[in-house]
């Protein structure tokens, strides 16, 4: 029998506790006027959540596009193929090495916890729990929180967010007190931002976007952005843009100086590298012309076809996931993928040619 009612009569902490105690599996849907959200349970534990179209999947997409800088068109191709299944999307992005396993589980865990906790601000609306064993497409295996964990964390956050709002205005523009810190973080590995939200926030502060605008393109939740900013403001590592303008009116722009220095160093490094390469090519062409020519032909071939081959290999990875979903087993050959229409003959030919070339 479905569990349903009004949040004024049966509050969310009590609903969570009941589902947890009875170790139910299914989806709890919450509706309040135009807002709709859901929480996915597996044997009484919370394994996924979707709040006003924000989900672990959407946060992964934001991370891939705005942190890793992968083409949005390519990510959308994967989304269309996976049809909203986060497990299939994760499988594809791991296979083509767009994500590491550590990044995937860290982001998914943050997303589930943050989204589930955010629902505790709901005081009105209706709820309905539908038991269902078909929840695989909604979750990342091993990402799971007990209802007690989420309830206790949510209660703590409700008190904290009130205190943070006293110091943070979402329409304000803030900047690093030391502008060079943002420049240095621009070259930091993406994985750093998963483990250190404060450094991630500093890297976002460009002096143009408001806090509200930064949150819109962030892969972490509003709460985590506020939490990081609160600490950074209290410690003096981040200041308002107005303060920065007053303090720097008679001094050179430190951020501009640091960026110019970084650009100059990059230019010098590139020129040095180019001169060294040119020198070796000249020497090589004089001493071993045949050898250099052969290597040059190979390099030209690789440059010309690398993108095509890479795209074909990605299609193979996606096709393998689709084959396993449809057949329950992994394909043994490329021919099986082609036979089911998951891979074109031209893609098969390209992959075979690329693998042959790589082994030579």
pLDDT score at 290: 54
Tokens (6 digits) for 164: 């943070």
User: What's the mean pLDDT when you consider all of the chain?
Assistant: 82
**CB-based contacts of 111: which residues, under 8 Å, 6+ apart?**
49, 55, 56, 59, 60, 221
Task: List, for residues 215-251, the tens digit of each pLDDT value.
Answer: 888 899 999 999 999 999 999 999 988 876 665 544 4
β-bridge pairing 3-6 and 126-131: antiparallel
Phi, psi of 246 (to 5 degrees): -65, -40
Q: What is the 3-state secondary structure (H, E, C) of 303-317?
A: HHHHHHHHHHHHHHH
Task: List, for residues 112-122, the tens digit of each pLDDT value.
Answer: 999 999 999 88
Task: List, for residues 302-313, the tens digit of each pLDDT value.
Answer: 555 555 666 666
Whether residue 55 contacts residue 87, with contact meaning beta carbons closer than 8 Å, is answered with: no
Which of 11-25, 96-110, 323-337 comes out lowest in average pLDDT? 323-337
Q: Is the pLDDT of residue 259 over 90?
A: no
Task: List, for residues 159-214, the tens digit of each pLDDT value.
Answer: 898 888 888 889 999 999 988 888 777 778 888 888 899 999 998 888 899 999 98
- Cα angle 117, 63, 98 (rounded to 5 degrees) comes to 130
Taking alpha carbons only, the member of 111, 119, 89 closest to residue 194 is 111
Assign 82 to helix, strand or coil: helix
Q: Is the pLDDT of residue 265 over 50?
A: no
Which of 58-62, 221-225, 256-260 comes out lowest in average pLDDT? 256-260
Phi, psi of 329 (to 5 degrees): -135, 160
The DSSP 8-state label assigned to residue 248 in this structure reads: T
CA distance 186 to 91: 28
Of 277 and 58, the structure prediction assigns the larger pLDDT to 58
pLDDT score at 273: 52
pLDDT score at 29: 96
Per-residue confidence band for 58, with pLDDT thresholds at 50, 70 and 90:
very high
Q: Give the start-end residues of each E strand in the chain.
A: 3-6, 26-32, 35-42, 45-51, 126-131, 174-176, 238-240
Taking alpha carbons only, the member of 113, 114, 104, 102 closest to residue 45 is 113
Sort 64 into a burial class: Cβ within 10 Å, 0-12 / 13-18 / 19+: buried
Dihedral sign for Cα 294, 295, 296, 302, please.
positive
Task: List, for residues 310-349, the tens digit of each pLDDT value.
Answer: 666 677 777 777 777 677 777 878 888 778 777 777 777 7
Cα-based distances in Å from 340 to 262, 319, 326? 52, 10, 10
Q: What is the 3-state secondary structure (H, E, C) of 86-120?
A: HHHHHHHHHHCCCCCHHHHHHHHHHHHHHHHHHHH
Q: Is the pLDDT of residue 253 over 60?
A: no
pLDDT score at 297: 55
What is the chain's Cα-based Rg? 26
Residue 265 burial (CB count, 10 A): 10
């Amino acid at each position: 029998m479905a569990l349903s009612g009004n949040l004024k009569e049966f509050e969310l902490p009590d609903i969570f506790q009941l589902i947890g105690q009875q170790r139910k599996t299914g989806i709890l849907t919450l509706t309040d006027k135009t807002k709709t959200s859901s929480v996915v349970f597996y044997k009484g534990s919370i394994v996924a959540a979707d709040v006003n179209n924000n989900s672990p999947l959407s946060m992964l997409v934001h991370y891939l596009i705005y942190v890793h800088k992968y083409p949005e068109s390519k990510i959308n191709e994967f989304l269309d193929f996976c049809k909203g299944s986060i497990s299939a999307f994760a499988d594809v992005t791991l296979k083509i090495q767009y994500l590491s396993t550590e990044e995937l589980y860290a982001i998914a865990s943050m997303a589930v916890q943050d989204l589930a906790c955010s629902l505790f601000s709901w005081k009105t609306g209706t709820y309905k729990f539908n038991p269902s064993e078909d929840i695989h497409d909604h979750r990342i295996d091993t990402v799971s929180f007990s209802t007690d964990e989420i309830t206790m964390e949510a209660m703590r956050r409700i008190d904290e967010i009130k205190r943070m709002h006293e110091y943070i205005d979402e329409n304000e523009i803030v900047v690093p007190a030391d502008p060079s810190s943002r420049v240095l973080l621009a070259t930091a590995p993406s994985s750093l931002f998963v483990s250190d939200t404060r450094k991630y926030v500093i890297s976002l502060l460009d002096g143009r976007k408001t806090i509200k605008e930064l949150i819109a393109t962030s892969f972490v939740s509003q709460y985590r952005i506020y939490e990081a900013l609160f600490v950074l403001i209290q410690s003096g590592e981040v200041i308002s843009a107005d303060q920065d303008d007053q303090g720097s009116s008679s001094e050179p722009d430190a951020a501009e100086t640091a960026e110019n220095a970084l650009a100059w160093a990059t230019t010098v490094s590139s020129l040095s590298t180019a001169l060294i390469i040119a020198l070796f090519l000249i020497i090589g062409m004089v001493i071993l012309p045949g050898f250099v020519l052969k290597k040059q032909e190979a390099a030209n071939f690789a440059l010309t076809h690398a993108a095509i081959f890479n795209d074909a290999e990605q299609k193979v990875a996606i096709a393998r996931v689709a084959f396993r979903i449809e057949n329950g087993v992994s394909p043994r050959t490329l021919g099986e993928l082609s036979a089911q229409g998951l891979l074109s003959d031209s893609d098969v030919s390209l992959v075979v040619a690329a693998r042959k070339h790589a082994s030579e």
